[in-house]
Amino acid sequence: MARLGFIGLGTMGGQMAARLLAKGHTVTGFNRTRSKAEWLVRKGMVLAQTPREVAEASDIVFAMVTNNAALRGVAEGPDGLIAGMGPGKYFVDISTVNPDLSREIAEKVRAAGADMVDSPVSGSVITLQEGKLSLMVGGRPEAFEALKPILLDIGPKVTHVGSNGLALSMKIAVNLSLAVQMLAFSEGVLLAEKSGIPRETAVDVLCNSAIASPMVKYRGPFVLQQPPEAWFDVNMMQKDMLLAMELGRKLDVPLPTTAATNEFLTAARGMNLAKFDFAVIFDVLARMSGIETGVGK
């Protein structure tokens, strides 16, 4: 069993911390909104006052925060996690951020005598709870081998994709595909619905057809009813789409479907739908098609 730290205890981060606790590890956590972490304290987690305290109490520190600014906020400064790192310790960043920023943070972690990998995940709350989450890892091979047993306690598929930052590039490639697939699925549902086929029937057929990826299977039903709490809301998905387009410009890779899908996310924000799961792009397209879904009303 290991002494673990977890910074960022939102929907996914909190569930990961709970999973690590269930595996018997000691977990010290930090969350900006402390009240959201109380349920983990009841499960045995120790709640720290700062990210630095988390790092000082842990051999391996995980972080899952929202964006570049949030990562800098928890990593740097006198109360940041880097200030609590030292020889023999590891930082595992699960956040989806700019790969160049991740490499910059990794250098600072190594200057403190520790090591870092980026390890974003593919999957949802449901796949995490079912023990089916997959993890990508970017970093030194020796760090990957040292961390792999702990990462396998989060999910059964752990893949080393290369040096620091490359797991983030892979994650961005995955996430742009999720939104593009959701838009294509929405087009199919609406074309069937306006032809006279009940929406429920169209969803059932498409979710059991040749186009039924795992994402379509678990998110397709969201066009019938949005979940009470967004798994991955519009703003979070748009952040990842913008990261993808930034990376595409840097690498000279045109991303036409990413750019088009991103505009539907902007439209969702304009329709005051940003708090919903990104599957709400269906509702944007439905309104453009003359169909009111009731979401956000």
* pLDDT at position 132: 84
Shortest CA distance to 57 belongs to which of 85, 87, 93, 22?
Answer: 85
pTM of the full structure: 0.89
Alpha-helix residue ranges (DSSP H) falling in 220-271 = 234-251, 256-270
Using CB atoms within 10 Å of the CB of residue 108, give its burial: 0 to 12 exposed, 13 to 18 middle, 19+ buried.
Answer: middle
Q: Is 259 exposed, middle or buried (0-12, 13-18, 19+ CB in 10 A)?
A: middle
Question: Residue 224 carries which DSSP code?
Answer: T
Q: What is the pLDDT along the chain (297 residues), one digit of tens a residue?
A: 789 999 999 889 999 999 999 999 999 999 999 899 999 999 999 999 999 999 999 999 999 999 999 999 999 999 999 999 999 999 999 999 999 999 999 999 999 999 999 999 988 778 888 888 999 999 999 999 999 999 999 999 999 999 999 999 999 999 999 999 999 999 999 999 999 999 999 999 999 999 999 889 989 999 999 888 888 999 999 999 999 999 999 999 999 999 999 999 999 999 999 999 999 999 999 999 999 898 877
> How confident is the model at residue 292, as a pLDDT?
87
Q: Residue 253 has which token pair?
A: 């890779």
Number of neighbouring beta carbons within 10 Å of residue 41: 12
Name the CATH topology of 3-162. Rossmann fold (3.40.50)
pLDDT at 130: 83
CATH fold match for the domains 3-162 and 169-288 = no
Domain 169-288 bears CATH identifier 1.10.287.3510: no
HEC string for 126-164: HHHHCCCCEEEEECCHHHHHHHHHHHCCCCCEEEEEECC
Burial status of residue 202 (CB atoms within 10 A of its CB: 0-12, 13-18, 19 or more): buried
277 beta partners:
233
Supply the pLDDT for residue 125.
79
Predicted pLDDT at 92: 98
Sorted by where each begins, the domain ranges of the chain are 3-162, 169-288
